[in-house]
Amino acid sequence: MIRRRRLASPLAALLCAAACAPRLPSGGAPLAAAVEVGGARIRVVAGREDAAAGRLVAEVLGEAIPRAARFGRLTVPVTITVHPSHEALEAAVRGTDYPWLRAWATYSAIELQSPATWSLLGASRPQLVELVAHELAHCAMYQRAATEAGWARAVIPLWFREGLASHAAGQGHRRGSLEALRHHYLARSGAGSGGGAGGGVAGPRLQARLARGRAPEGDPLAAPDLLDQDGADVVYGAAHHAFQFLLERYGEGRPGAILDRMRAGATFARAFREEVGLGEAELLADFRRYVVWEGWRR
């Protein structure tokens, strides 16, 4: 069992990773491939023991890169380094300690656990395409929002960056349903189990918090530390659905426009308000009410 170190936030680990040069895999690091698709340039690096995995990663780039470009193009070359084990991946990113982690992306680099080690049978091709597209979407997001010198200071909320990458990669089928998210809110608030189409009724305390625009207890959108508590599925699911809520209400082009405002010098909060017309907290409050009050059923 891997010991877990508690982080102040996933962003803290990201900044730590960004501040350190990536480590190359053990056993030497021959170049497995250099791939260019639609102007995006990707370099895949793997140790001798992972040469086959490196070639497999290179093979799926033709499918992954177009997905990753949904909300922004890859304008800076990206290096994908394949690591032979989860422990090697953790060492490369220095401090995440998430047992479920398979990859980590920064502005122009992705650290990737060898897909051969993801399970007893290894990763399927669709799984690998989705994960590589997800991580490349992170790179594209950072590249659109900031320069290489300033990207680590461009703070983007977890729900937005993970929701963006999840949608770009087409991972909705891997996320929990809105009903499951509603159940999470009800369970964390101590709501009763009787009545309602969803098998539970929001209690007075939860109703009052929602009415005031406050986050419910244990809200995955407001408490990303759930990542440290076996709550990754609900965090990623909530991020995916909140980002979808943004897309459906304000359009496909809105996320990219927010990132463009950030590149021009705005903070995320300012860019969001200027582009969407209301604050991030207001949109998330609307989304929580939509989930708990089953707005998707209407």
The torsion of the CA quartet 127, 131, 133, 134, rounded to 10 degrees, works out to 140
Quick one: average pLDDT of 243-253?
Answer: 97
DSSP string, 109-152: EEEEE-GGGSSTT---HHHHHHHHHHHHHHHHHHHHHS-TTTGG
* Percent of the chain residues past pLDDT 90, beyond the cut: 63
Tens digit of pLDDT for each residue in 102-158?
Answer: 999 999 999 999 999 999 889 999 999 999 999 999 999 999 999 999 999 999 999
Are 114 and 51 spatial neighbours (Cβ–Cβ below 8 Å)?
Answer: no
Confidence (pTM): 0.85
Q: In the structure encoding, which two tokens stand for residue 165, read together? A: 């990458």
Closest CA to 122 of 84, 174, 91, 153: 84
pLDDT (tens digit, 9 = 90+) per residue, 42-54? Answer: 999 999 889 999 9
Edge-to-edge strand order for the sheet containing 103-105?
Answer: 31-37, 40-46, 78-83, 109-113, 103-105
Multiple choice CATH, 10-154, 3.20.10.10, 1.10.260.40, 3.40.50.12780, 3.30.2010.30: 3.30.2010.30
Give, in order, the Cα–Cα distances in Å from 13 to each of 9, 104, 171. 7, 10, 24
Cβ-contact 169, 69 below 8 angstroms: no
User: What is the predicted pLDDT for the residue at 297?
Assistant: 75
Residues of the chain with CATH 3.30.2010.30: 10-154
- Tokens 């909060």 sit at which residue? 269
Q: Is residue 296 predicted with pLDDT exceeding 80?
A: no
Nearest to 18 by CA among 102, 96, 132, 131: 96
